[in-house]
């Protein structure tokens, strides 16, 4: 988002210093629920309104500036449900990748494993300075419950203050689907009209809905091993999307002739034959982030122009590329560019109509911060007090050792 200067009439009154939480909640009803980067009006003993004429990266509807030292909002999955559609996520995530392409900081996933009971703790982060937000994901998976929990801390990139903690589960297919769609938009042929998807779960749903916002598909073919699942997916997507969606009986039936191929599976081995790809196809692979697991075979990697979300993760957990490298068909020089570099215009995308392109998405803090901040903004625009305010003291007040 571009910088802007708040209008001079934002605070024509003598803006009060909020003396206590009761006064703050009363004051809150007199101004919009917006603040630096979308935060609610202040609700803490040390909160005060500051000069509204200070330049800010925040959008026009968020240019009432507050200095807030101890207010954070918890947003549950129920709070954020329905706040943004796939197209809005795609726009936000594209902007995040543009910033990454211009040098914004992001790190690949860190995985910590617990042996007994078996489970994992994951985390990754990014700073999006033009958005005005930073944060990432921390989530657990496995353990005795065989489930997963996603926490998304979100901080103000100008002040460092905590803005929100978002339950990241419900937004996951939307922000991940948006990353895939940004890859499609950057790399697929402009006239791509046929889509193949391998997988029929929540992530496949998010990928297809997002991809349909960046290309005018006439047809979508879906394959997954369980017939009932792929048929249910096709029926649901037919109700949601304009293109005709059909369940097909094999990966080849989906992939052959498709302009765009998306893999959204939990498979540990390649899910289609790279020889089935037509010249000019684009592939988005988003189901795996493990050095020994992969959705794409060596043929696909060898035939395609390879673009990861983060170059740093290629040798860490991009199993498809690692396997192709071990087979001797590619090396590190075959990593063309990061997606963000292409979005930002720092690297070329598709070179010609016959080129096969690949976007390998392992999940990053880029789409996570962009998506969470979008939901945070939307929640703060509402007048029905979405979320739960939490007093979160800064170290200057709480780190006393007493």
Domains of the chain in start order, with CATH, are 1-68 (no CATH), 77-172+366-374 (3.30.1780.10), 174-364 (3.40.50.720)
Among residues 170, 176, 13, 7, the alpha carbon closest in space to that of 89 is found at 176
What is the DSSP secondary-structure string of 168-218? Answer: -TTTHHHHHHHHHHHHHHHHS-TT--EEEEE--SHHHHHHHHHHTTTS--S
Q: CA triplet 72, 93, 10: central angle to 5 degrees?
A: 50
12's CB contacts (< 8 A; 6+ apart) are none
Task: Tell me how crowded residue 334 is: count the other CB atoms within 10 A of its CB.
Answer: 16
Angle separating helix axes 227-240 and 202-211, nearest 10 degrees: 30
Q: Identify the segments of the chain with pLDDT beneath 50.
A: 1-69
Task: Tell me how crowded residue 218 is: count the other CB atoms within 10 A of its CB.
Answer: 13
Instruction: Verify cis geometry, omega within 30 degrees of 0, for the bond prior to 117.
Output: yes
E-only strand ranges, 19-146: 48-49, 66-67, 71-75, 106-114, 119-128, 133-142
Kindly state the helix (H) or strand (E) to which residue 359 belongs, with its residue range: strand 356-360
162-167 and 71-75 as β-strands: parallel, antiparallel, unpaired? parallel
pTM, 2 dp:
0.83
Give exposure, 82-115, as e/b (b: 16+ Cβ within 10 Å).
ebbebebbbbbbbbbbbbbbeebebbbbeeeeee
Max Cα–Cα distance, the chain, nearest Å: 70
pLDDT of residue 165: 97
What is the DSSP secondary-structure string of 227-238? Answer: HHHHHHHHHHHH
pLDDT of residue 4: 35
Collapsing DSSP to helix, strand or coil, 254 comes out as: helix
Question: Do residues 41 and 28 lie in contact, with contact meaning Cβ atoms separated by under 8 Å?
Answer: yes
**CA 68 – CA 83 distance, rounded (Å):** 25
pLDDT of residue 363: 93
Collapsing DSSP to helix, strand or coil, 275 comes out as: helix
pLDDT of residue 115: 94
pLDDT of residue 9: 31
E-only strand ranges, 292-387: 304-308, 356-360
CB burial class (10 A; 0-12, 13-18, 19+) of residue 146? exposed
Among residues 261, 262, 264, 265, the alpha carbon closest in space to that of 277 is found at 261
**Beta-bridge partners for 127:** 134
**CA 297 – CA 303 distance, rounded (Å):** 10
356-360 and 388-391 as β-strands: parallel, antiparallel, unpaired? unpaired
**CA 104 – CA 126 distance, rounded (Å):** 8
Give exposure, 193-217, as e/b (b: 16+ Cβ within 10 Å).
ebbbbbbbebbbbbbbbbbbbbbeb
Question: Do residues 382 and 190 lie in contact, with contact meaning Cβ atoms separated by under 8 Å?
Answer: no
**CA 63 – CA 160 distance, rounded (Å):** 18
Collapsing DSSP to helix, strand or coil, 290 comes out as: strand
pLDDT of residue 64: 37
Instruction: Verify cis geometry, omega within 30 degrees of 0, for the bond prior to 237.
Output: no
């Amino acid at each position: 988002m571009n910088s802007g200067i708040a209008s001079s009439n934002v605070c024509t009154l003598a803006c009060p210093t909020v003396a206590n939480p009761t006064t703050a909640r009363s004051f809150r009803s007199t101004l919009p629920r917006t603040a630096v980067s979308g935060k609610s009006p202040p609700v803490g003993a040390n909160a005060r309104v500051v000069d509204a004429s200070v330049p800010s990266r925040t959008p026009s509807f968020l240019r009432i500036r507050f200095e807030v030292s101890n207010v954070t909002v918890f947003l549950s999955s129920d709070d954020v449900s329905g706040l943004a559609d796939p197209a809005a996520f795609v726009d936000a995530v594209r902007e995040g990748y543009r910033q990454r392409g211009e040098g914004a900081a992001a790190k690949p996933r860190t995985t910590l494993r617990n042996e007994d009971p078996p489970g994992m703790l994951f985390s990754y982060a990014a700073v999006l300075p033009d958005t005005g937000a930073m944060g990432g994901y921390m989530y657990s998976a496995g353990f005795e419950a065989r489930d997963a929990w996603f926490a998304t801390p979100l901080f103000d990139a100008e002040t460092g203050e905590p803005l929100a903690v978002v339950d990241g589960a419900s937004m996951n297919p939307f922000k991940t689907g948006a990353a895939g769609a940004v890859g499609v938009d950057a790399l697929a042929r402009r006239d791509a009209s046929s889509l193949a998807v391998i997988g029929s779960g929540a992530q496949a749903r998010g990928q297809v809905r997002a991809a349909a916002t960046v290309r005018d598909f006439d047809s979508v073919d879906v394959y997954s091993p369980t017939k009932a699942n792929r048929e249910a997916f096709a029926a649901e997507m037919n109700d949601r999307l304009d293109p005709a969606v059909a369940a097909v009986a094999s990966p080849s039936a989906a992939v052959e002739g498709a302009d765009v191929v998306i893999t959204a599976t939990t498979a540990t081995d390649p899910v289609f034959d790279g020889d089935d790809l037509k010249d000019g196809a684009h592939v988005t692979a988003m189901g795996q982030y493990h050095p020994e697991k992969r959705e794409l075979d060596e043929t696909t990697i060898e035939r395609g122009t390879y673009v990861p979300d983060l170059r740093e993760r290629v040798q860490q957990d991009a199993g498809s590329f690692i396997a192709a490298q071990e087979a001797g068909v590619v090396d590190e020089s075959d990593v063309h560019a990061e997606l963000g570099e292409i979005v930002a215009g720092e690297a070329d995308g598709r070179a010609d109509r016959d080129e096969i392109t690949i976007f390998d998405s392992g999940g990053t803090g880029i789409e996570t911060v962009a998506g969470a901040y979008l939901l945070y903004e939307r929640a703060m625009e509402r007048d029905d007090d979405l979320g739960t305010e939490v007093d979160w003291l800064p170290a200057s007040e709480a780190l006393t050792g007493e």
